[in-house]
Amino acid sequence: MGVREAVTSRSGADGSRALRWRWRTATIAAGWAFPADWALAEVDDVCRAVLGEGDPCRELYRLGGARAEAGAGLAETLLDLAALHAVLAQPPGSTGVVPADVDAIPARMLRSTALGWGDVMSRQAASCSADDPLSGLATPAYLRTRLREVYAEARALGRQEHVLVLVSLDLSRTSGWSRVVAMTLLADALREVFDAGETVASIGPSVACVLLRRDRHLARAVANLRVLTADRLAVDPHVAPTGPVGVRLEELPPTCEDAAALIARLGRSEH
């Protein structure tokens, strides 16, 4: 009896949680760079699907797409899939590091996940939408455009007048639509506090940021954001496990290229 049968023998929810925990452990051990962004609603769907009797390819396709939307590359996405496959193939009671071998992934699993990832990347390249469809915040692509404009302005002025306000939620204890609801509530608070032309963008599954000009009202706006976000999250009991919102100022680096790299890193490394 393998891990699949061992965890299936538990109750449905317990078995899914056990598989999820072992999968995450194996993925991080294999080199997943940003543990905070691993947990997605689609992960839970895949766990339920592989423990059931049906074909999990549809759920794997959606997971591949969700990984692409969260900023994971194809190699990283397939490494995660390899970790899942390795965990499922382990005998019950096994301990230690589970080796993730991409070359060992069954063709159907590999194809479904890669197609999901590729289809999302193709749509993103074709549409280049300026707004995130769920939160309504600006996309990372639009933020990069604004950064180029800000740096051009700074060169003309001889000084940098803009700063980033980084806002993050710890969604590690939430799953499914609770994560979406939490980020939607955060987006509402951001738009209410920063409503004078600032660029408010989603840069990761649990991270947003504001690009704005530094002025004497900045400290008050940050304090208001902390209070308002806490109030919004407290209204919905399903998002209570998100914990306190993290808000901090982030200085812009010397070049626009450095700023783009900073945004990409912050979007995946924050809780």
Is pLDDT of 257 > 50?
yes
Tell which wins on pLDDT, 237 or 208. 208
Residue type, 99: P
* 13 and 96 in a common domain: yes
Q: Are residues 173 and 113 in the same domain?
A: no
Whether residue 135 is contained in a domain is answered as no
pLDDT > 90? residue 244: no
Run of H or E residues at 200: strand 199-204
Same domain, 263 and 145: yes
User: Residue 161: pLDDT above 90?
Assistant: yes
Considering 103, 127, 151, which residue would you say is the last residue of a domain?
127
- Specify whether 29 is located in the same domain as 112: yes
The residue segments making up the domain with residue 260 are: 140-269
Asked if residue 204 belongs to a domain, the reply is: yes
Q: What is the pLDDT of residue 201?
A: 92
Residues 44 and 105 in one domain: yes
Q: Which residue has the higher pLDDT, 240 or 116?
A: 116
Q: Are residues 71 and 34 in the same domain?
A: yes
List the end-to-end C-alpha distance of the chain, in Å, as a whole number.
37
At residue 179, the pLDDT reads 72
What's the whole-number average pLDDT of the chain? 84
CATH number at residue 181: 3.30.70.270
Task: Identify the CA nearest to 81 among candidates 55, 59, 96.
Answer: 59
Number of domains comprising the chain? 2
Asked whether residue 161 is assigned to any structural domain, the reply reads yes
3-state secondary structure of 210: strand
Residue 192: inside a domain: yes
Q: What angle do CA 219, 222, 227 make, to 5 degrees?
A: 125
Claim to verify: residue 179 and residue 101 sit in the same structural domain: no
| Inside any domain, residue 134 | no
- Global pTM reads 0.57
159 in the same domain as 257: yes
153 lies in some domain: yes
> Helix and strand tally (H, E) in the chain?
10, 4
The verdict on 162 and 98 lying in the same domain is no
Q: Which of 93, 127, 161 corresponds to the end of one domain?
A: 127
Write out pLDDT tens, residues 165-191: 998 887 776 666 677 777 888 888 898
Question: For the chain, what percent of residues have pLDDT higher than 70?
Answer: 84
SS3 247: strand
C-alpha dihedral sign at 262, 139, 188, 152: positive
* pLDDT value of residue 6: 44
Whether 201 and 123 share a structural domain:
no
Closest CA relative to residue 18, chosen from 120, 99, 88: 88
Q: Which of 127, 150, 179 is the last residue of a domain?
A: 127
Q: Do 210 and 258 have their domain in common? A: yes
- Residues 152 and 100 reside in one and the same domain: no
Does 133 reside within a domain?
no
Q: How far is CA 17 from CA 24, 44, 133, 227, in A?
A: 11, 8, 29, 33
Domain assignment present for residue 132? The answer is: no
